[in-house]
Amino acid sequence: MSRLPTPRGPLSELLLEHLAGPVRPLPSTPSVAGLDDEDLHLSLYLAYELHYRGLPGVDDRWEWDPSLLGLRAQLEDRFEAELLDAVPRGIEHVAPEEMDLALRAVDEQDDAPSLSRFLERDGTLAQFREFLVHRSAYQLKEADPHSWAMPRLSGPPKAALVEIQADEYGGGRADRIHAELFARSMAAVGLDRRYGAYLELLPALTLRTVNLMSLCGLHRRLRGAIVGHLALFEMTSSIPNRRYGDGLRRLGQSGEATEFFDEHVEADAVHEAVAAVDLAGGLVRQDPALAGDVLWGARCLAAVEADWAIHLLDAWERGETSLRDELPSACEPAPIG
């Protein structure tokens, strides 16, 4: 991220103004109850980003400033309340050996339109470029939100998570880190591959998909939810990634443009059983009370991804951009970093 984004409302305006200055207590802030989604999710995304790679020109000490953490907690409470309204969370009794089937049932109940099928068969290169811009918010930090679960786990589920994450981080090879593969896919179709380059263009529905992972990953009490989120993601991504790769090939793209997606067809097929049986099932075997949280995290993933996919497909059906503004037709290859 080379510069801070433009505010989207009174809270993000206040937050950005103060983050650019010396660390000091934040003044009274607007009520989070009255924020629209754009202001809410940009503000929460910025607060979370301090725990990832930081923000340009922002003192790293803001990460643990008590007043900022207090504001973030209010935003999280509002976000979590909205998630709970859409996806109720309760006590569920699922045997560890049945967790695989329970997670598959979550996927089977998802009746959202298939974004991957549309892009495979009908998507234009311009629509693929928008899709990559949306996904860059997560894929350029791929694995990091889920890695926060590592110190919260122990024994077999921890080993399972490490096995999955080791692949995401390229097995120790920097050129094979999945975030790097995605950056190369972006560059191959004329996009800026730099981390955070398109934050200005990302709507709340996209930021929301990343904020969900950060929320669940950062809170130990939600360790079951982040495990369920990752498990469902790994269990359901192999086929969509094959479709994305095939759609790009239909448009004459190959090589680095499709490498990320082709890699995930194979990798996620391997991860599927590990995530469902060893990670999610293993966690529930250790702590049966977490079964409901595991399934809640999976259902939240399905819900926010469905809202996001519908937004993209509806915008494209109207002949409009799915981003907050039109995407430039192409850019010069960006420097690595």
Query: What are the tens digits of pLDDT across the range 196-254?
Result: 999 999 999 999 999 999 999 999 999 999 999 999 999 999 999 999 999 999 999 99
User: Whole-prediction pTM value?
Assistant: 0.94
Q: DSSP letters along 282-296, please?
A: HHHHH-GGGHHHHHH
| Cα gap 125→119, rounded to integer Å | 9
Q: How distant, in Å, are the alpha carbons of 120, 132, 169, 315, 318 from that of 127?
A: 11, 9, 28, 10, 13
Residue 277 amino acid letter: V
Say if residue 222 is in the same domain as residue 204: yes
User: CB count, 10 Å around CB of 206?
Assistant: 27
End-to-end CA distance of the chain: 10
Say if residue 162 is in the same domain as residue 55: no
Looking at the structure of the chain, the number of domains it has is: 2
| Cα gap 100→224, rounded to integer Å | 15
For 115-148, the pLDDT digits (tens) are 999 999 999 999 999 999 999 999 999 889 999 9
Tens of each residue's pLDDT in the chain, 337 residues: 778 999 999 999 999 999 999 999 998 888 898 899 999 999 999 999 999 999 999 999 999 999 999 999 999 999 999 999 999 998 899 999 999 999 999 999 888 889 999 999 999 999 999 999 999 999 999 889 999 999 999 999 999 999 999 999 999 899 999 999 999 999 999 999 999 999 999 999 999 999 999 999 999 999 999 999 999 999 999 999 999 999 999 999 999 999 999 998 876 677 888 999 999 999 999 999 999 999 999 999 999 999 999 999 999 999 999 999 999 876 544 444 4
User: Would 285 be classed as within a structural domain?
Assistant: yes
CATH number of the domain bearing residue 182: 1.20.910.10
Q: Which domain holds residue 25?
A: 10-86
Among 45, 47, 7, CA closest to 26: 47
User: Would 335 be classed as within a structural domain?
Assistant: no
Residue 7 amino acid letter: P
